[in-house]
Amino acid sequence: MGRAITTAFTTAGHRTTAWNRTPGKGNDLDATIASTAAEAIAASPVVVVCVLNYQAVQAILDPAALKGRTLVNLTGGSPRQAREMAAWAAGHGIDYIDGVILNGVIGGPEAALLYSGPREVYQEQQATLAALGENGTYLGEDPGRAAGFNMSLLDLFWTSMFGVVHAFRLAAAENIAPADLGGHAKLMAGLLPGLIDLVAEHVAADEFPGDASTIVSAAAVLDEVIDTARTNGLDDGVLSAGRAAVQRAIDAGHGSAGFSRLAVL
């Protein structure tokens, strides 16, 4: 990702100094290659960092060298980590913007980045950050807000991916070939965009009609899926966790509500 970030800045005409923890990794880039992180920091009033995690950010960066500069952290982590990093930066006199690269794309119209932190700081750097993606979105003053969006979306992605791989395991146990399942799986997944809109609408209105389908009916279907998984000797941990959430809703008297009711319990 560091290579893509550096390339985006240089392509946009920004004088760029880059540093990588692996010596020589960026020697072919159209940028000045620093031998140390401190050297890279000293070269610019704006420092963009994207490494493994927030602990690595603090291990790499010298707060004294960053004082008076703007740090844009695209590393990605939890909202709590982002807020702690913002507090760390403020304590050392560093302007701080926390950012998220949503789809792994840097530069051009396909890139989708989210930013949060002090509005004035973001506005000062907005033109520079536009090099990373035309669709950068500022979400507000709370430095953890971009990370909150990211974690919510990753929750959706990884829960869905567990469902995808588990479905193929269950299909294999029932002697269904991957190619035979794939098209039907995409048809089923095609329901999700509409359902996302529906759940958002229900949550915003705080109304969860069960006229199309109820939590009780979802419980019956889940019981059948879990039974099939267990019969085939498959791990049903994710499904059982979902079934337990459904049962809690039923026990709380929401069995006749729509499934979207689970989003607010």
Q: Contact 159/196 with Cβ under 8 angstroms? A: no
What is the structure's pLDDT at 263? 98
Stretch (H or E) spanning 221? helix 215-231
Share of the chain above pLDDT 90, in %: 95
The per-residue pLDDT for range 94-127, each reduced to its tens digit, is 999 999 999 999 998 899 999 999 999 999 999 9
Phi and psi torsions of 218, nearest 5°: -65, -40
What is the structure's pLDDT at 21? 87
Assess whether the region 2-148 and the region 154-264 belong to the same CATH fold.
no
The per-residue pLDDT for range 138-166, each reduced to its tens digit, is 999 999 999 999 999 999 999 999 999 99
**CA 207, CA 64: separation in Å to the nearest integer?**
52
User: Would you say residue 53 has pLDDT above 90?
Assistant: yes
Q: Roughly how many angstroms between the first and final C-alpha of the chain, as a whole number?
A: 38
**CA 162, CA 115: separation in Å to the nearest integer?**
28
Task: Determine the average pLDDT of the residues in 3-22.
Answer: 95
Task: Determine the average pLDDT of the residues in 21-45.
Answer: 92
Task: Determine the average pLDDT of the residues in 46-63.
Answer: 96
Which residue ranges make up each domain of the chain? 2-148, 154-264
pTM: 0.93
Q: Which long-range contacts (CB under 8 A, 24 or more apart) does 132-139 make?
A: 132/5, 132/8, 132/9, 132/106, 132/107, 133/8, 133/105, 133/106, 133/107, 133/108, 134/108, 134/109, 135/109, 135/111, 136/111, 137/112, 137/113, 139/114, 139/115
Structure tokens at 108: 């051009």
CATH class of 2-148: alpha beta
Fold of 154-264: N-(1-d-carboxylethyl)-l-norvaline Dehydrogenase; domain 2 (1.10.1040)
What is the structure's pLDDT at 62? 95
Q: Can you spell out the DSSP letters for 56-73?
A: HHHHH--HHHHTTSEEEE
Share of the chain above pLDDT 70, in %: 100
Q: Contact 31/14 with Cβ under 8 angstroms? A: no
